[in-house]
Structure formats: C-alpha cells, structure tokens
Amino acid sequence: MADLITSDSLIDDKALDTLTKLLNTMIPPSGDRPGAGDPEIVRDLISAAQELEAQVRNVLTLCETHALADVIALKTPDFSAFGALVLQCYYRDDRVMAAIGMEPRSPHPQGYDLEAGDWSLLDPVKARKPFYREV
C-alpha cells in the first residue's frame, strides 16, 4: 500500500496502517459494502484531507496511546472533523453508492426522477374557505 502515500507527507506506513484499522473500526466492511479502510477510500480520504491535516494527525496521534474504540468514544473536536471527512469520502465511493441504491454519479447533469405524488390529497384543503386574517 506504500504507493498510496508516496506523494503525501501526511502519512507514513505505520500511520497508514493505523488509519486503515481505525477506518475499518468506524465503518467495517459488510456484505457488498467495503469498509472505510478500503484502499480506494483511504486514497480518496488522504487526498481530501489536505485542509484537515492537523486534525487527522491529532487523531492518529491519539491512536498511539488509546484503543481504537476509545478514540471513537472520546468524540474530540478533531475526531468530529475527521468523522465528517470519513463520511464524505465513504458515501461517494462507487461501490458504496451502488450498495445503498444510488447511481455512482454526480447529481448533475442527469438529475433524478421524482414522482408527482398524490394530488387528490389536496381536495379537503381546496374545500376550505379562505382563512387568512382580514385587515
């Protein structure tokens, strides 16, 4: 996995290993869903982490002295920011999107279908007299 990080000073092999374990603890693999420690998701996360470098580093430092489950349970502000990043990267992975029933694509330009809904529900409201306050 070293190629994952060659251009990135954020993480060395040991930290990468810790990161992967932490991510798989946060979102473990299950059925057709990869874990968040999947190499492709980790790669995306590392490249997206530039602005949160300090927070990611702090979380990894915490992992050196705490069990992974405790790092999660402590809910430090750094971990919250890191957690948001994890969700952002995890739920845009092709395999994850397919597994949760989304097409793996951006919303634009195709957009989405939306059913018209049941307009007969409006009938009782249409029958109501105007009730805004007269002045």
Partner 1 sequence: MVSPDPVDVLIVGAGASGAAVAYGLAETRMRIVCLEQGGWMNPLEYPSTGRDWEARGDMGISPNRRGLAADYPVNDRNSPISVANFNAVGGSMILYAGHYPRFHPSDFRVRTLDGVADDWPIDYETLAPFYAENDRIMGVSGLAGDPANPPHNPPLPPVPLGKSGSRLAQGFNDLGWHWWPSDTAIATEEYEGRDKCINLGACLSGCAQGAKASTDVTYWPMAMRAGVEVRTHCRVREITVRPDGMAGGAVYIDGDGNEQFQAAEVVIMACNGVGTPRILLNSSSSLFPDGLANSSGLVGKNLMFHPYSLIRGIFDEPVDGYRGPGVCIWSQEFYETDPERGYVRGFTYEINRGNGPVMAAQMGMSQGYVPWGDGHHAGFDSVFNRMTGMVGICEDLPEEHNTVTLDADLTDADGIPAPKIDYTLSDNSRRMLDFSIDRATEVLKAAGAREVFSYAPIPVGGWHLMGTARMGSDPDRSVVNEWGRCHDVKNLFIVDGSIFVTSGGVNPTRTIQALALYVADAMKQRLANLFD
Structure-derived torsion over alpha carbons of residues 34, 39, 41, 43, reported in degrees to the nearest 10: 180
| Residue list 49-108, contact with partner 1 (CB under 8 A) | 51, 69, 72, 83-85, 87-88, 91-92, 97, 100-102, 105-108
Distance CA 38, CA 21 (A): 10
Q: Which is nearer to partner 1, 2 or 131 (CB)?
A: 131
Among 10, 25, 58, 62, binds partner 1 (CB under 8 A): 25
Distance CA 21, CA 37 (A): 7
Distance CA 120, CA 14 (A): 62
Structure-derived torsion over alpha carbons of residues 62, 59, 55, 99, reported in degrees to the nearest 10: -170
Q: Which is nearer to partner 1, 39 or 47 (CB)?
A: 47
Give the tokens for residue 2: 């070293």
Minimum gap (Å) between residue 32 Cβ and partner 1: 10
- Binding segment for partner 1 among 1-9, 11-19, 20-28, 55-63 (CB under 8 A)? 20-28
Among 3, 30, 65, 77, binds partner 1 (CB under 8 A): 30
Give the tokens for residue 12: 């060395």
Residues forming the site for partner 1 (CB under 8 A): 25-28, 30-31, 33, 48, 51, 69, 72, 83-85, 87-88, 91-92, 97, 100-102, 105-119, 121-122, 124-126, 128-135
